Amino acid sequence: MTESPGDRILVTGALGQIGTELVSSLRQRHGKDNILATDIRSPGPESNFPDGPFSNLSVLDGAKMERVILEEGIGTVFHLAAILSATGEKNPELCQRVNVGGTVSVLEAARDFDLKVFAPSSIAVFGPDSPNIAPQEGPLNPTTMYGKTKVTGEILGLNYWKQYGVDVRGLRFPGLISWKAPAGGGTTDYAVDIFRAAVDHGHYDCFVSEDTRLPMMYMEDAIRATESIMQADPGSLGDSRVGYNIKGISFTAGELADKIAERIPGFTCDFIPDFRQKVADSWPDDVDDEAARNEWGWEANYDLGRMVDEMISNIS
């Protein structure tokens, strides 16, 4: 391991749902020029992506990644590039290649240059044998390719920490709800899309059943969790360091539609499950986040009502 080339931060998959907001928050905290946003795509002309340094970088190109890390003086990587669950079910080979291959590129670079890494996991690591409230330590037997790649990501992260001392940290994000960037092909996208449809058309056709209950979180809480775990004292983090459960809000699709209808009179929602219902059914209703609370003080700020108010007022 050689010393980190510098103190700047590189974000992979930065143009996605999380990256758009994380880059903005990191630039406010560390200064615009200290954050290098990268993605395989480029921001479009109409994009509201935050202004600042940007490069095209595929996480599958490990040699280019190492070159960029050296040239740009990088010390920390937030690794967000991935293929999400719904897209991954349609193209499992790509999902495996990007999610596992991309994570290996980042971890190898981190091992070479002593980088600190944030590599998010997901509630998709759980499968049908998980209790309804998924424990931190429990069976990880996902049925989706996406979930399997996330379990592999956690195993790799822990191995790089234990074998090579690479400071890898991660969270098992629930479905994330935000209004600044569109959701990126996940099974929980209905909880984002419903707001735009409600404001624009007063109606939404929801692709999971009314009684589908999943763990969710408002993006502001997710960004705060990401920054908190990266700032946490390393000595306080145990073996869950690569995939802490973090609890946000648990609600059914019907409860979400009802809350929106209370605020947008006349809003209607039909529930027409498609292939994503099977994925949703394989995931738990909620998670137990005691380890995150005890080890680095995690606590969500947003409940269902507050999240719905924020989403409607920002989208309107």
Ligand X SMILES: NC(=O)c1ccc[n+]([C@@H]2O[C@H](COP(=O)([O-])OP(=O)(O)OC[C@H]3O[C@@H](n4cnc5c(N)ncnc54)[C@H](O)[C@@H]3O)[C@@H](O)[C@H]2O)c1
Angle at 202 between CA 198 and CA 203, to 5 degrees: 85
Exactly one of 69, 81, 125, 194 binds ligand X (CB under 6 A); that residue is 81
Between 180 and 203, name the residue whose CB sits nearer to ligand X.
180
Using the rule CB under 6 A, is 184 a contact of ligand X?
yes
The window from 46-54, 74-82, 232-240, 284-292 that contacts ligand X (CB under 6 A) reads: 74-82
Cβ contacts of 313 within 8 Å, gap of 6 or more: none
Query: Distance of alpha carbon 257 from its chain centroid, rounded?
Result: 23
Non-local (6+) Cβ contacts of 162 within 8 A are none
Shortest distance in whole angstroms from residue 85 CB to ligand X: 8
Residues 38-57 that bind ligand X (CB under 6 A): 39-41
Rule CB under 6 A: is residue 77 a binding residue for ligand X? no
The only residue of 11, 12, 160, 279 in contact with ligand X, by rule CB under 6 A: 12
What is the β-pairing status of strands 116-118 and 74-79?
Answer: parallel
Q: How far is the CB of 173 from ligand X (least distance, A)?
A: 3
> Is residue 58 close enough to count as binding ligand X by CB under 6 A?
yes
What does the block give as tokens for 179?
Answer: 């209004």
Is 311 an interacting residue with respect to ligand X (CB under 6 A)?
no
Residue 147 in the binding site for ligand X (CB under 6 A): no
Task: Map the footprint of ligand X across residues 252-281, applying CB under 6 A.
Answer: none
Amino acid at 121: S
Identified binder of ligand X from the candidate list 50, 75, 88, 120, rule CB under 6 A: 120
Q: Does 307 bind ligand X (CB under 6 A)?
A: no
Catalytic residue among 146, 160, 204, 218: 146
Task: Give the E-state strand segments of the chain in sequence order.
Answer: 8-12, 35-39, 54-56, 74-79, 116-118, 121-122, 133-134, 167-169, 171-173, 175-177, 203-206, 213-218, 244-245, 249-252, 268-271, 286-287
**17 binds ligand X per the rule CB under 6 A:** yes
Look at residues 116, 87, 112 and name the one whose alpha carbon lies nearest to residue 99.
87
Is 95 among the residues that bind ligand X (CB under 6 A)?
A: no
Is 146 among the residues known to form the active site? yes
Residue nearest ligand X, CB atom distance? 16
CB of 132 to ligand X, least distance (A): 19
**Region binding ligand X by CB under 6 A among candidate stretches 137-145, 180-188, 204-212, 229-237:** 180-188
| Tokens, residue 273 | 């499950």
DSSP SS3 for 15: coil
**Interface pick for ligand X out of 10, 59, 246, 291 (rule CB under 6 A):** 59
Query: Does 82 sit near ligand X (CB under 6 A)?
Result: yes
For ligand X, the closer CB: 34 or 178: 178
Q: Which of residues 148-177 bind ligand X (CB under 6 A)?
A: 173, 175-176
Q: Do the beta carbons of residue 222 and residue 181 sit within 8 Å?
A: no
With residues binned 3-state (H G I as helix, E B as strand, rest as coil), the percentages for the chain, rounded to 5, are 45, 20, 35
In 3D, which of 103, 53, 109 has the Cα closest to residue 83? 103
186 touching ligand X, by CB under 6 A: yes
Torsions phi, psi for 158 (to 5 deg): -65, -40
Give the interface size with ligand X as a residue count (CB under 6 A).
Answer: 28
Calculate Rg over the CA atoms of the chain. 19
> Which residues are designated catalytic?
146
Residue ranges binding ligand X (CB under 6 A) = 12-13, 15-19, 39-41, 58-60, 80-82, 84, 98, 102, 120, 122, 173, 175-176, 184-186, 188
